[in-house]
Structure 1
Amino acid sequence: MNLVFKLGDIVEMKKGHPCGGNEWEIIRLGADIKIKCRNCGRLVMISRADFNKRVKKVIFSNEDNN
């Protein structure tokens, strides 16, 4: 799996959010990654290691950001 993520990427997680959505937008990158649920707008910050384990696939990759 490609473990290089960019701001604005839309990812699908292995486990869905309680609101029913499973698409998340990456809004902060670093040692921790902040993601936002595309269904309800909830913000979640998790460590990069946990994020890499929990991500299922990249739905949309934002190629404009370097």
Structure 2
Amino acid sequence: MGFKFTASFAGLLALIDFAAAQSGAWGQCGGTGWTGATTCISGWVCTYSNPYYSQCLQAGVPNNMVYHV
């Protein structure tokens, strides 16, 4: 019983680490000197803007159709 709990807890920690390593909606995900997350949450893609900045944008939406509110 103790082993099963430990294994489940370790799996949960790994999942949390993975989720924390992803940028959220509209977040930065790359660029020269960027040391943060380089992947985006589900449904969002890391989109290159210029050598210094990449941003998580909604998948399937053309870049010229994305509006910030």
Which TM-score band applies after superposition, normalised by the shorter structure? under 0.3
> Taking structure 1 as the reference length, what is the TM-score of the superposition?
0.24
> Taking structure 2 as the reference length, what is the TM-score of the superposition?
0.24
Q: Of Structure 1 and Structure 2, which has the larger fraction of its residues in strand?
A: 1
Q: Of Structure 1 and Structure 2, which has the larger fraction of its residues in helix?
A: 2
Return the structure number with greater relative CO, CA threshold 8 A, min gap 6. 1
